[in-house]
Amino acid sequence: MNARTAGIVSYITWIGWIIAIVMGDSDDEFVKHHLNQALVLNICGTICSVISGIIGMIPIIRILGAIVFGLIGLIIFITAIAGIISAANNNTNPLPIIGDIKLMK
């Protein structure tokens, strides 16, 4: 898998991230950048999903939680699309909000 494809696939949920880290060249700086960005994005999405599920069990704030976490989910989706576009254009521009977080070296 070439670097561009690995960068694109890494943003497609956890499964895409695992495929990209296994089949992509993890020593390439371009792939590392997009793997890191996708990892942070996937972690944020997972944490928001868990919190949303917990808040969804509380009857009083269920509707407010659905609205807030629905908007957060939309922001995460739009950010993933921005990452896919960046990888497709061979750019290493940091993503908005989470771009400065480095979890992979």
Report how many domains make up the chain. 1
For 24, the domain range is 3-88
> Residue 81 corresponds to which tokens in the numbers above?
């699309």
Q: For residue 104, is it within any domain?
A: no
Tell me, yes or no, whether 99 lies in a domain. Answer: no
Per the domain annotation, does 102 fall within a domain? no
Question: Could you tell me if residue 48 is inside a domain?
Answer: yes
* 9 found inside a domain: yes
In a domain, 23, yes or no: yes
CB proximity list for 21: less than 8 A, separation 6 or greater = 10, 35
Q: Is residue 95 part of a domain?
A: no
Answer whether residue 103 is part of any domain. no
pTM of the model: 0.86
Quick one: pLDDT at residue 96?
84
| pLDDT mean values, one per 10 residues, the chain (105 residues) | 90 92 85 92 92 88 88 92 93 84 79
d(CA 39, CA 61): 30
Q: What is the largest CA-CA distance in the chain?
A: 50
